[in-house]
Amino acid sequence: MKKIVISTGGGDAPGLNAVIYAVVHACHLRGWEVYGSRSGYGGLLDPDELRRLTLADVDGIYATGGTILGSTNKGNPFSMPVENLAGEIQVVDISDKIIRNFKRMGFDCHIAIGGDGSLAIAQQFFEKGMSVIGVPKTIDNDLEATDRTFGFDTAVSTATEALDKLHSTAKSHDRVMVVEVMGRESGWIALYSGISGGADAIFLPEIPFDIDCLCNKISDNELHDKDYAIVVVAEGASARGGKVVSKGRGELGREEVILGGIGEWVAEQIRQRTKKDTRSLVLGHLQRGGSPTTFDRLLALRFGAAAVRLVEEGGYGRMVALSGSGMVSVPLIDAIKSRKKVDLTSDKVLTAREIGICLGD
Ligand code: F6P
């Protein structure tokens, strides 16, 4: 008999519930108990935030977006900012309390589903003595050591569908439409959706862009009787010599800045330089919503089942991963060392160039 606690951390991604579904089923088959911790480590701080998960609790959830456990991307337990009575912000470390509760409650393993931030915290807990297994999640697909994270395929499908829809309105008005997509410092969502959605230009964080290159592309389109254009801009992209555009840190306890604004900046440059009617839109959290695609559902279910097999083998401090078409496990530390960037020599980048997409260089 084993007692497992499962948590979802960081920004939500379609497929989280499918992982939970697979973990609960695979544990049930083995006669093990699974508990869900609310909002990351909430259940290991407050028993009210912990709930036993039965087959009935997870019925049908594999097909739903979001997470039944709730999630948060603020409040790292190792450096948690709290406001004291005098209104000052103090940084406290509550990790010892979490470890104590984990042991006191008799858990054998924590299955942490997260992106680089949550998995880095999971690694710190592993180093402090907690038995941890990681499951890679993020729509950004920027985790090292796995060929794919779940959530990415759904986000790309949503972005591609949006681009498909923008074509008709852009064409009707002879307009340039600039679409800002998520992805932080990696251009995976921009590249995959831009190629699949017929973009004229795609700006990635990996290639600082030259705005003149885009304006030349728009003029070139016109020479070929195409009076509209679709431009995809990753939120982390920046102009050559320019800076990444952000909205600051946002809520207390949040570790990463909120990116956004580069799409409108690009649109304004196009307006000024080409005098073309130009509009921008930010797809934002639409990319995180909705039910997971078949690909993400299957990947998430496979990750969940593989995580339980890893518990059985005692593979603590490791993360389940996709390698080629198979499930493997890798040290958690390998997954968080750096963010996976688009390989500029990959065939996808070559494809973009060969079908005439401007990449800003
Ligand atoms: O990491 C996933 C992600 O959706 C990023 O693409 C984006 O920059 C960020 O999270 C947005 O975070 P929040 O939900 O806090 O606005």
User: Which contiguous run of DSSP H or E holds residue 8?
Assistant: strand 3-8
Q: Is the CB of 38 under 6 A from ligand 1?
A: no
Alpha carbon 254 to chain centroid distance? 16
Query: Assign residue 7 a region: left if phi > 0, alpha if psi is -120 to 50, beta otherwise?
Result: beta
pLDDT tens sequence for the chain (361 residues)? 999 999 999 999 999 999 999 999 999 999 999 999 999 999 999 999 999 999 999 999 999 999 999 999 888 999 998 888 888 989 999 999 999 999 999 999 999 999 999 999 999 999 999 999 999 999 999 999 999 999 999 999 999 999 999 999 999 999 999 999 999 999 999 999 999 999 999 999 999 999 999 999 999 988 889 999 999 999 999 999 999 999 988 787 888 899 999 999 999 999 999 999 999 999 999 999 999 999 999 999 999 999 999 999 999 999 999 999 999 999 999 999 999 999 999 999 999 999 999 999 9
Which pTM was predicted? 0.96
**Pocket perturbation via mutation, ligand 1, pick of 12, 16, 118, 140 by most ligand atoms within 8 A of CB:** 140
Q: Pull the structure tokens for residue 19.
A: 């992982």
Sign of CA dihedral 97, 41, 327, 331: negative
Considering only CA atoms, which residue is closest to atom 14 of ligand 1?
Answer: 11
Q: What is the pLDDT of residue 213?
A: 94
Q: What is the pLDDT of residue 253?
A: 80
What separation in Å is there between the alpha carbon of 139 and the centre of ligand 1? 9
CA-based nearest residue to 354, from 195, 190, 178: 195
Distances (CA, A) of 149 to 138, 208, 300: 6, 25, 9
Q: What is the pLDDT of residue 248?
A: 87
Q: Is the CB of 73 under 6 A from ligand 1?
A: yes
Domains and CATH numbers, the chain: 3-150+292-335 (3.40.50.450), 152-289 (3.40.50.460)
Strand order, beta sheet including 3-8: 50-52, 33-37, 3-8, 109-114, 132-136, 318-323, 326-331
The catalytically annotated residue of 116, 140, 153, 296 is 140
Q: What is the pLDDT of residue 57?
A: 98
User: Which contiguous run of DSSP H or E holds residue 279?
Assistant: strand 278-282
